[in-house]
A and B are shown apart, each in its own frame.
Chain A
Amino acid sequence: MMYLSFPFIKGELILMVPHRIMFWQIENVWVFYLLVIIAVGIFAAGVAAHLRVWGAVRRKNSGIPAIRFSKGALKRAVLDSLLGRRVLRGETSAGMMHLLLFWGFFILFIGTALLAIHDYLFPFLTGRTYLIYSLVLEAGGIMLLAGVFWALVRRYIQRIDRLERRLEDALVPVWILLAGLSGFMVEGLRLAYQQPPWHGWSFAGAWIAPAISSTAAMTLYPYFWWGHAVFSLCFIAAVPYTKLFHILGAPVSIYAQGAAAPSVLDMDRVEAGAGEFGPVDSIFFDACMRCGRCVSACPSEGAGEPFSPREFVQAMRRLLWEAHFLLGDIRFLSRGKADQVDDKFWYCTTCRACLEVCPVYGAAFEAVLKNRISAVEEGTHIPKLMNQTLEKVFKYDNPWESSKTNRGAWAEGMELVDLSNGSDSRNLCYFVGCTTSFDDTARGIAVSFSRILQKAGVDFGILGKKEPCCGDIARRVGELGLFLEQTDKCRDLFDRYGITEVVTSSPHCFHTFRHEYPEAGFNARHYTQVLFELLTNGKLRFKNGMTAPVTFHDPCYLGRYNGIYDEPRKLIRSIPGLSLVEMNHHGADSLCCGGGGGRMWQDLEGGDPQMSEIRIREAEITGARILVTACPLCRIMLEDARKATGLNETLQVMDLNELVLQHLEEKNG
């Protein structure tokens, strides 16, 4: 009797246990089983094809570290999949839509599996369990339909910029819509005829049912049932052949990205083919469902340059399929648009913004780097200026066409210790870097930082004209042989003079030292960390200066690559009078100035406006008087952009060192 207490029950009181009659009104059930076998077969073949390609990629590139077991990566993959954390982040609307789709689909999937268990193994979906089951599945169906409807609105009515409209983009949601609606119709028809007292638990079907006469329901039911079956089975079969594959691929990719051993390059790996794609790349390409978050985040594409991370990833996916699968690209529905990449990958600034937003943690820029490695090995498709720049790094140890002998010229008259004289044993080495040593604008960073260290009473030295290039440029453009030669030069020098503590001007040198040097026997820090330490130890005392709003541009290799966001901000806030205002893009969301990844030394035609000009306009909008950054490349790019946009008087571009020195007490320390 307890089932009858449910308030929505209409009609006669029938004392029976709620349950579902399987294959009600359906004849020739064997046809259904045949269709199931076909659909599952097609599905399995598609999945097997993916595994085959991943395996082939893995066999071809034995030099790449394998995907290990990682508890952390597994946890991340599960939580990200279930909660849609990455999809939600920064885009609530897309995230909610995805949650509806995911949970709707997931509930229906589990529900169908339970039904199968109930029917074939042991019946348990009866009574109260069945009613709750009905209610939850009903909710799942509604969520799925709402999600699909929302997705269609976003793509075809709101026409959100980053969303593409290829054939499969329309087919997939419409197909789900048909499968879902037909499901509810089947339910409605069944309820209309059977009119069980518990039909209120299937509230959507119960809402349809009263509109249908009992005889019509009886006649129509088999047609809708078969329709629903075919729609649903086709959906299952289509998963590996469309972007739906991300249902399987995304969790695998999230896991693989987290579980692949981080790799420091050495000569063996370079010679084994570091430019080849590994299984982690291949899985990422297959998991990509063209959501286009990378497109919104990419500063190069944002400035109207021809490179697009999404097109690039699609082209690479196709390349791997064509190389490793007899029938070529498996996603025939999205073949319509040619994903041509050519040499556009030279545009990538390796700013890492795409990785920051990618729901499957795909690093398109890492794939870009591999293409560059291959291009450098081949030698014929390198932009002319890049070709010359690499030659210069090799011959003159810097990319700036400058003489080695002038490297320490900025320090003339500053009475700095040259550690390469070997007479001094102090071990903090200020590694100035090529750009800071040679570029007129950037030299101010070296002078200011040295002055600050002097005023704070820090013992340190420089390497003068012996300082080599750290190899960042070579690494970023894929000239790994040259990069490793540079790492040898630096390490030998540090070893020879007993240097164990290194501080750099450039986040690029810092990152390279910290993460990419094989067997580094020294500790590398960026100057912002050293300044912050001096501040916390009370070694920096600021005077009262002007009152002005200041904004901070996060350099990619300081922020996104190394997570240093707070130190520079705390330094700025500690200067009396200055107030920090943030730009629209800041922190992990910072917008690249366009100077990284070797772009500084390439003659590629930039966008209009340039990346740096877009950035300087963002700074202008904040109303800040000073745009502070902490990287010589950013400093140069933004200064040039300031001049190019004519923001002469209103906005000043400064390096954090210059700002700190300007506000330091005369008798600091």
Chain B
Amino acid sequence: MTELNIIVCAKQIPDPEAPLSDVRVDGEKKEVFVDAPNVISPFDENALEAALVLQEEAGARVTVLSLGRKVSDTVLRKSLAAGADELILLQDNAFEKLDSHSVARVLADAIQRIGDCDLVLTGRQAGDWDSGQVGLMLGEILGLPCISLAREIKVEGRQVQVKKNIAGGYEQVRAALPALVTVSNEVGELRYISRTRMMKMLRKASSIPSWSSGDFVSTPDALQGMEIKELSSPPDMGRSCEFIEGATLEEKADQLVAAITSF
């Protein structure tokens, strides 16, 4: 059997796990400022983990694609440290704040340029805007069968077998390869990359291939930016806690009833 070629699309975003106090929403500039390091979007990390498991089980070549105006190779090299075979950065000023459809088009062009591809994996949605559109649009543009919200992925012969989340459970579906699968967190957290392993990866001199728009985008003029109409902080969900006083349980119960009814 020829080796499976898997492409994982991974987005670099400000850490969505950042402490809330480090996140600031600027309604006027319509921007979110996050004072936190950049990371690979968590669902994309899940997709990478799924790819690495397939790599271990069936033997696969895993290529990671990351798109943005400027992508940090320090952040994305984590994928190589985890076990991916190749990392390609798609960087261009023209890629700033693209809408989901444009992102999908650019990714599709990159995948077509790579050529050999049996399985495309993306996160179910990005950890910053949570749109959840790029994966399925990418499948559409590439003309691939798509399975969304995968919780378990297996490749058997020329078919991919997926357990996908549905309300209250999962259903098991199959698609012929090549196919695209969007991955949910249930496949498992990306393996831990120790600092020693990461440092070894960073010390390696090998440069990471970086493609700019002119290298591969077929219709650069058709790309559109995302337009934000309005941006505001979530309302302050103030919490308060009141202790019910009372000498006996009955007294406390009465006080509790009084407190509830007074709302």
Contacts and interface: CB of A to CB of B under 8 A. Distances in A.
Our verdict on whether A and B bind, yes or no, reads yes
Interface of A: 270-271, 376-380, 382, 384, 387-388, 390-392, 394-396, 401-403, 405-406, 479-482, 484-485
Given A401-B17, A403-B19, A405-B21, A485 B195 contact: yes
A485 B22 CA distance: 23
Interface in B68-120: 82
Interface centre among B15, B18, B196 (most CB of A within 10 A): B196
B37 interface: yes
B192 interface: yes
A377 B191 contact: no
B141 interface: no
A479 B198 CA distance: 12
Majority-rule SS of B interface residues: loop
Nearest to B192: A379
B54 to A, nearest CB: 14
Nearest to A386: B192
B17 A481 contact: no
A348 B255 CA distance: 45
Contacts of A482: 194-195
A395 B36 contact: yes
B37 A405 contact: no
Given A394-B195, A484-B195, 14 more contacts: A271-B196, A376-B192, A377-B197, A379-B191, A379-B192, A388-B17, A388-B189, A395-B15, A396-B19, A403-B18, A405-B22, A405-B35, A406-B21, A481-B198
B58 interface: no
A384 B192 CA distance: 9
Interface centre among A270, A376, A484 (most CB of B within 10 A): A376
B22 A403 contact: yes
Question: Looking at chain B, what size class is its interface with the partner chain?
Answer: 20 to 34
Given A396-B19, A403-B21, A387 B192 contact: yes
A391 B40 CA distance: 12
A390 B195 CA distance: 10
B196 A480 contact: yes
B195 A481 contact: yes
A475 to B, nearest CB: 12
Contact of A479 (B15, B35, B189, B194): B194
Contacts of B192: 376, 379-380, 382, 387, 390
Nearest to A477: B192
B220 to A, nearest CB: 35
Contact of B194 (A379, A384, A403): A379
B24 to A, nearest CB: 12
B193 interface: yes
Interface string B212-230: 0000000000000000000
B248 to A, nearest CB: 15
Interface in B167-200: 189, 191-199
Contacts of B15: 395
A208 to B, nearest CB: 68
Contact of B189 (A384, A394, A395): A384
Contacts of A390: 192
Nearest to A485: B195
A384 B42 CA distance: 13
A376 B194 CA distance: 6
Contacts of A382: 192
B194 A402 contact: no
Given A384-B189, A387-B189, A395-B37, A401 B195 contact: no
Nearest to A402: B19
A379 B78 CA distance: 12
A116 B141 CA distance: 92
A649 B218 CA distance: 73
Contacts of A403: 18-19, 21-22, 35
Contacts of B39: 395
B82 A392 contact: no
A392 B194 contact: no
Nearest to B56: A380
Contacts of A387: 189, 192
A403 B192 CA distance: 22
24 contacts: A271-B196, A377-B194, A379-B82, A379-B192, A379-B194, A380-B191, A384-B189, A387-B189, A387-B192, A388-B17, A391-B17, A394-B195, A395-B15, A396-B19, A396-B36, A401-B19, A403-B18, A403-B22, A405-B21, A479-B195, A481-B195, A481-B198, A481-B199, A482-B195
A316 B162 CA distance: 38
A387 B39 CA distance: 15
Given A382-B192, A481-B196, A392 B22 contact: no
A558 to B, nearest CB: 28
Contacts of A379: 82, 191-194, 197
A33 to B, nearest CB: 58
B189 to A, nearest CB: 6
A502 to B, nearest CB: 24
Given A379-B191, A387-B189, A405-B22, A392 B17 contact: yes
Contacts of A271: 196
Contacts of B18: 396, 403
A391 B199 CA distance: 15
A270 B199 CA distance: 13
A482 B82 CA distance: 16
B178 to A, nearest CB: 27
Contacts of B17: 388, 391-392, 401
A55 B166 CA distance: 56
Contacts of B22: 403, 405
A480 B197 CA distance: 11
A402 B19 CA distance: 5
A270 B189 contact: no
A391 B42 CA distance: 12
A265 to B, nearest CB: 11
A394 B17 CA distance: 13
Contacts of A391: 17
A435 to B, nearest CB: 16
A270 B196 CA distance: 8
Nearest to A398: B19
Interface centre among A382, A390, A402, A481 (most CB of B within 10 A): A481
Nearest to B52: A380
A307 to B, nearest CB: 20
A479 B10 CA distance: 26
Nearest to A270: B196
Contacts of B21: 402-403, 405-406
A485 to B, nearest CB: 6
Nearest to A406: B21
Nearest to B200: A271
B108 to A, nearest CB: 32
A518 to B, nearest CB: 15
Given A401-B17, A403-B22, A377 B196 contact: yes
Contacts of B194: 376-377, 379, 479-482
Q: What are the 3 A-B residue pairs with the smallest beta carbon separation, nearest first?
A: A481-B195, A481-B196, A379-B191
B57 to A, nearest CB: 13
A406 B21 CA distance: 9
A390 B192 CA distance: 9
Contacts of B189: 384, 387-388
